Amino acid sequence: MLVVVSVAAFWRDAAPAWQDAQEQVRAIVAERLGPERAADVPAGLRQIWIEDLDRVDRCITCHATIDWGPELADAPHPARSHPAIPWLDAKHPISEFGCTLCHGGQGTATTMAAAHGDVAFWEEPLLGSQRAKGYGLEARELMEMACNRCHVHEAEVEGMPLLNDAKAFVKKKNCVRCHTIFGQGTTKAPDLSRLGEKHPTAYTFPKGWKNPRTALHWHIAHFREPFVLVPDTLMPTFLLDGKQAEGLSLLVLSWRKQDLPARYVPQPTR
Amino acid sequence: MSGGDGFFARLFRTWLPRTPRESSEAVVRNIWLHAFPARITKRSLSWLASGWLGTVSLHLFIILSLTGVVLMFLYVPSVERAYASVKDIEFVVSFGSWIRGTHRIAAHLMVVVVVLHLVRVFLTGAYKKEGAPGAHRPLNWLVGLVLLVLTFALSFTGYLLPWDQLAYWAVTVGTQIAAAAPLVGEELRQLLLGGTVVGQPTLLRFYVLHCFALPLLTVFLVAWHMWRIRKDGGLAVADRVADDAREQAAITPPPPGKTYTLMGATQGGTVQAASSTGQLENATTPGVPAIPRRSTAVFLAVLALCSVLGLLLQAPLEEPANPAVTPNPAKAPWYFLWLQELVSILTFRIGDFVVDGSFLGGILVPGLLIGLLAAWPYLDKSPAAAAGIWFHPSRKVQNRVFLLLLFACVVLTIIGTYFRGPYWAWTWPWADAHPHTTLT
Amino acid sequence: MSERRSRRWMLRTLAVGGAFAGGLAHVWAWSRSLVPNVLYEPPKQRRLGAPTRFPEGTTFLQEEKIFVVRKGDVLRALSAVCTHLGCTVGAQEAGYHCPCHGSFFDAEGTNTGGPAPRPLPWHPLSLRGGALIVDLGTEVGPEITLESPLPPEPPKPPRGGRKGDK
């Protein structure tokens, strides 16, 4: 029995899940760019450690060719490279920001389910296209929530159209007439400054709730018809069109305390 | 086994003695074997007499120490790094998940086995005081009780270390119960926590207690516990064997000129000294290699069991500790859930008077139980012949009461573990009280 | 040796051997777990900011432990880690001096005195997206240089200001 266990344990250790993913990447690279390039695919466990943010992301263990540029831009996952975005390389180099800061998910994990956050006890899953589809959004729109955790005090940020609109809406409707947001406003309605910190388990969903139990779904429903979720609410029902409810929900969920080292604080673009 | 006197044969002579003489010499010559008696009764060796539960407890402690030292190299006892270092153990350390799983399973098993060991000793009346000079089994029972408490303490201090929600709130609830102790309760809690809430000082305190102070104390007490067994003349069942031998001897007088082994000539109440008859010799066997051989087999079985379970059952790791969010319900570790259940049952109002359940259930009941257990060897008036015998008729009533109390604890633990949902309300285990809620 | 006895012997050998193998496997697993699979260390390739921040002569970067040496448009990076026992050397007028055991290196990093057994190594520099990159994981000779496309400017605060290098 002891021998059997030992063999089983060694077997499992010898073939971790991420090795299969690296094999996949190598196969895709070999098919598209030739076998000699496949040898260049980095092997072994790799991580991006960002000391200043106290974060570690091991995504590049499987997404090993994330920085290979246009030649793998349309390759299937996990071999696909990161799209070239003008402000990415210059202002958000992967070596200094990692992956999960923008994309969500569990950076320390080395299995797909755990890393993408589709596991119990992980409340912030990957902000991917699959999840975005559930809200009728694109992945990059869902990710604007992550962008705004740092870019919270800017009215207009390039690449964040959904949240730029939401911010304009908050200004136009003068939400601070009742709410307090970042120290401004009144106390007629709850302070929203750190709404994004409210733990997902703290939301109460009404009986017969059809959507997945997520904080974002709760807020979208609440922005559309506040009285349905909070019967004695004072909040008016806005006639929101298109993606306005989604944008506003992402905006309020991005409001949380964020301690950034000085060099990570965004420079105002105005 | 090959004969001859090659190098290895001489090297392992004491481990694999071939003659009774070599057996008794082994105990003197080999430091690792000197803890074992020269001769032991065959009934003491049998699996049914003791279940070898004490040995299993010790082996679990050894496995815990070995895996624990490995984990100490990998774990960082700081609130910033603790959770991440456990994630690293799970995700990037070779065999890390297995080692952690084995450590956890061995810890849970140790609580179970130590309690079963206590149950065995009670049901066989093995704590009873007997007349042999130098023997005083009640003292060893007390040492054992302290070891039981130490086992709980070791397990509980280890519970906090992953610094996840499970750990944080279990320790918050657990230490709150300590605060219900009269007069010094709150001071005791703050001393444990190193402050008023669970924080970095708590983590460091629990770490040092878990990895150094408590294991060290346990090692000393285990040594004492085992030395007392020798001092008390072996397991209680050995006394019954000696009685039988004495009775036999009364019928057939010992052959003249019969001498006994050197090791039997110790002062005090060892079986061997009490009666050196041929009958007794037939009922005994050399301690070496019988005890180390069986002990090794037990160790391998225990190690194999822990390894299998450690491999199959993933040790839990919930979200990082978050003082702002209390999971609903927040549960203490399972072996304290009978206490938490008592606390919740015993808190009720009679008119304006509120019965303080945390004092009754958290302090008074366990305090009484421990006190009663400690005093019981001196209160138990059953005859000496009842010691070492399972369910001796003269101990019927006390055995039944003991089993009833034990049963109550087990039932309360099961209720607390499986039947308590949000707000500590009754929940069926199959009801999905907590669907996973996420941010997006 | 009888048939029965040899069977017994074989079973016993199997049991003892299995126990040894299992125990050994555990000890191996415990030891292997202490060999790190990932490192919590800064990457070997470091961004140093725009080349214009390095004036003529030698600039010491204490976090990267290198000297960036500029001569006109030519940039090079010299390791500041003494080849003797790894202390950080300091720049002197005519070269580099190790405070620990008194090793001397000339301006080209050649060991000229003290116990240092080898010259200080040079690290390759490259430009990516307008930022200077040093590869601390690669050692090159003093002849490897980088032609800076931009002449040095009067000193001004670097982009963002990395922790420690002023």
Q: Is the pLDDT of residue B273 over 50?
A: no
Residue A13: list chain B partners with CB under 8 A. 94-95, 98
| The 3-state secondary structure of A153-222, one letter per residue | HCCCCCCCHHHHHHHHHHHHCCHHHCCEECCEECCCCCECCCHHHCCHHHCCCCCCCCCCCEHHHHHHHH
Tens-digit pLDDT profile for residues B407-434: 999 999 999 888 888 888 888 877 765 6
Q: Quote the pLDDT of residue A210.
A: 84
Contact A9, A1 (CB under 8 A): no
The percent helix, strand, coil of chain C (3-state, each to 5) is 20, 30, 50
Residue B252 has what pLDDT? 67
Indicate if the pLDDT at residue C156 is higher than 50.
Answer: no
Q: State whether residue B326 sits within 8 Å of chain A by CB.
A: no
pLDDT for res C8: 84
pLDDT over 50 at C162, yes or no: no
pLDDT of residue B436: 74
Distance separating alpha carbons of residues B274 and B265, to the nearest angstrom: 10
Residue numbers of the domain that contains C76? 45-147
Helix, strand, or coil (residue A225): coil
Phi, psi of B316 (to 5 degrees): -70, 150
Residue C5 falls inside a structural domain:
no
Contact predicate B266/B295, CB 8 Å: no
**Interchain pair A216, B439: CB under 8 A:** yes
Put simply, the chain C residues between 115 and 144 with a CB less than 8 A from any chain A CB are: 129-130
pLDDT of residue B368: 93
Q: Is residue C14 part of a domain?
A: no
Q: CA-CA distance, B109 to B103, in Å (whole number)?
A: 10
Shortest CA gap B421–chain C (Å): 38
Instruction: Tell me the per-residue pLDDT of A113-137, one tens digit each, with 9 for 90 and over.
Output: 999 988 888 888 899 888 888 888 8
- The average pLDDT across B379-405 equals 89
From chain A, pick out residues whose CB is under 8 angstroms from the CB of C47. 93, 95-96
Q: CB under 8 Å to B297, separation ≥6 — which residues?
A: none
Whole-angstrom Cα distance, residue B25 to residue B263? 9
Say whether residue B66 is in contact with chain C using an 8 A CB cutoff.
yes
Domains and CATH numbers, chain A: 155-270 (1.10.760.10)
Tell me what the mean pLDDT of segment C8-34 comes to: 88
Determine contact, residues C19/C11, Cβ cutoff 8 Å.
no
* Contact yes or no for B84 and A123 at CB 8 A: no
List chains adjacent to chain C, taking adjacency as at least 3 C-beta pairs closer than 8 Å.
A, B
Report residue B255's pLDDT band, with 50, 70 and 90 as the boundaries: low
In a domain, C1, yes or no: no
Nearest chain B residue to C8, by CA: B1
Say whether residue C31 is in contact with chain A using an 8 A CB cutoff: no
Q: How far is A264 from chain B (nearest CA, A)?
A: 20
Question: If you compute the radius of gyration of chain B from its CA atoms, what whole number of angstroms results?
Answer: 25
pLDDT at C44 over 50: yes
How close C1 comes to chain B (CA, Å)?
11
Query: CB burial class (10 A; 0-12, 13-18, 19+) of residue A259?
Result: exposed
CATH of B38-439, one of 3.30.420.40, 1.20.810.10, 1.10.3720.10, 3.40.50.720: 1.20.810.10
Q: In the complex, which subunits touch B with 3 or more CB pairs below 8 angstroms? A: A, C
CB contact under 8 A, C29 and A261: no
Residue C96 within any structural domain of the chain: yes
CA B127, B128, B132, B136 dihedral sign is positive
Residues in chain C: 166
* Span of A98-102, B42-46, B347-351 with lowest mean pLDDT: B347-351
Q: Which of residues 54 through 83 in chain B touch A, CB cutoff 8 A?
A: 80
The domain that contains C87 carries what CATH number?
A: 2.102.10.10
Segments in C33-165 forming alpha helices (H) = none
Contact call for B88 and C38, based on CB within 8 A: yes
Average pLDDT, chain B: 85
Of B94, B317, B437, the CB nearest to A213: B437
- DSSP β-bridge partners for residue C132: C49, C127
**What pLDDT band is residue B66 in, cutting at 50, 70 and 90?**
very high
**In angstroms, what is the C-alpha Rg of chain A?**
22
Residue A5: closest C-alpha in chain B:
B308
Per-residue model confidence (pLDDT) at position B363: 85
Q: Is A263 in Cβ contact with C40 (below 8 Å)?
A: no
Q: Highest-confidence range of A66-70, A147-151, B18-22, B232-236, by mean pLDDT?
A: A147-151
Average pLDDT over residues B224-252: 82
Query: Which chain A residues contact residue B92 at CB under 8 A?
Result: 45, 47, 58, 108, 110
**Integer angstrom CA distances of residue A258 from A74, A101, A162, A262:** 34, 12, 21, 12
Please give, rounded to a whole number of angstroms, the shortest distance from the CA of C149 to a CA of chain A.
Answer: 19
Q: Tokens for C106?
A: 């000339």
Q: Are B32 and B15 in contact (CB under 8 A)?
A: no
Please give the average pLDDT of every successive group of 10 residues along chain A, which has 270 residues: 75 81 92 88 90 90 89 88 82 87 92 89 87 87 91 87 91 89 86 88 84 89 88 86 88 88 74
The confidence band for B44, taking pLDDT boundaries of 50, 70 and 90, is confident
Domains of chain B by residue range: 8-33, 38-439
Helices (H), chain C: 3-32
Residue C119 DSSP class: P
Q: What is the pLDDT of residue B267?
A: 43
Output phi, psi for B284, to 5 deg.
-120, 170
Domain count, chain C: 1
Which of C19, C34, C38 is closest, CB to CB, to B73?
A: C34
Q: What is the ipTM of this complex?
A: 0.88
Q: Are A22 and A39 in contact (CB under 8 A)?
A: no
More confident residue, B355 or B291: B291
Per-residue pLDDT averaged across B245-265, rounded?
Answer: 58
> What is the least distance, in Å, from the CA of A179 to any CA of chain B?
22
The helix/strand/coil state of B31 is: coil
Question: How would DSSP label each residue in A9-47?
Answer: HHHHHHS-HHHHHHHHHHHHHHHHH-HHHHTTS--S---
Rounded average pLDDT over B214-230 = 94
Q: Which residue has the tokens 């034990």?
A: B406
Shortest Cα–Cα distance, B55 to chain C (Å): 18
Please answer whether residues B206 and B357 qualify as being in contact, where contact means their C-beta atoms are separated by less than 8 angstroms: no
Q: Are B46 and B234 in contact (CB under 8 A)?
A: no
Is residue C37 assigned to a domain? no
Are residues B436 and A120, on separate chains, in Cβ contact within 8 Å?
yes
For chain C, the C-alpha Rg in angstroms (whole number) is 27
For residue A270, with 0-12 CB atoms within 10 Å meaning exposed, 13-18 middle and 19 or more buried, which class applies? exposed
Tell whether A2 lies on the interface with C, counting CB pairs under 8 A: yes
Please judge whether C163 and A263 are an interchain contact, meaning their C-beta atoms are less than 8 angstroms apart: yes
pTM assigned to the model: 0.87
Q: For the segment C113-142, what is each residue's pLDDT rounded down to a tens digit?
A: 899 999 999 999 888 777 888 999 888 887
Q: Residue C143: what pLDDT?
A: 75
Minimal CA separation from A162 to chain C, in Å:
28
CA-to-CA distance for A25 and A44, rounded, in angstroms? Answer: 13
Q: Which residue has the tokens 């067994």?
A: B229
- Judged on CB neighbours under 10 Å (0-12, 13-18, 19+), B401 is exposed
